[in-house]
Amino acid sequence: MKKLTLFVSTFVMCAFAANAQCDKKIKWNASKMEMVDTAGNVRSKDGVITVITGDGKIVVTAPDDNEELNGDIAEYVCKWKDKNNGSTSFKSLLTDKSGKERHATITIEAKDGKAVMVFSAEEELTKIRLPIDAYEEMD
């Protein structure tokens, strides 16, 4: 009986911890962007890219290119086993500094602490893939 109680307690705590990951504001950092065309060809571009997700919003900044995209998060699905393994997906109407809008689907997948973020937009043929160098919770 003690083993069953311990097992159930551990399971509930792990489920709570994984769900808590979904409610956090996260800063994602990448040092390159990969553009994938419809044929699967990949073109890479080096440069710092920061993505902040949380509080129902997404902000993407690429200071080297003086670019910024902002949008609200909708249709949010979050499934994390722990801090280093899981996935998140959501939709956002991303708007750049000039006011151009893109209807985007964003997917974040992490396995053993290695994360990749993929942006696909109805208005674009190319998908953007960001190999994430580091990510951290923000206050």
* Pairing label, strands 114-121, 127-138: antiparallel
**Would you state the torsion angle of the CA atoms of residues 122, 137, 54, 68, taken in this order, to the nearest 10 degrees?**
-50
* Per-residue DSSP letter, 24: S
**Lowest mean pLDDT: which of 15-29, 48-62, 78-92, 124-138?**
15-29
Q: What is the average pLDDT value for the chain, to the nearest integer? A: 86
Mean pLDDT within 23-27: 90
Measured CA to CA, the distance from residue 75 to residue 118 in angstroms comes to 16
The strand pairing partners of 114, in sequence order, are: 111
Read off the pLDDT band of 19 (50, 70, 90). very low
In tens, the pLDDT along 70-91 reads 999 999 999 999 889 999 999 9
pLDDT of residue 22: 82
CA–CA–CA angle 60, 61, 65 (5° rounding):
135
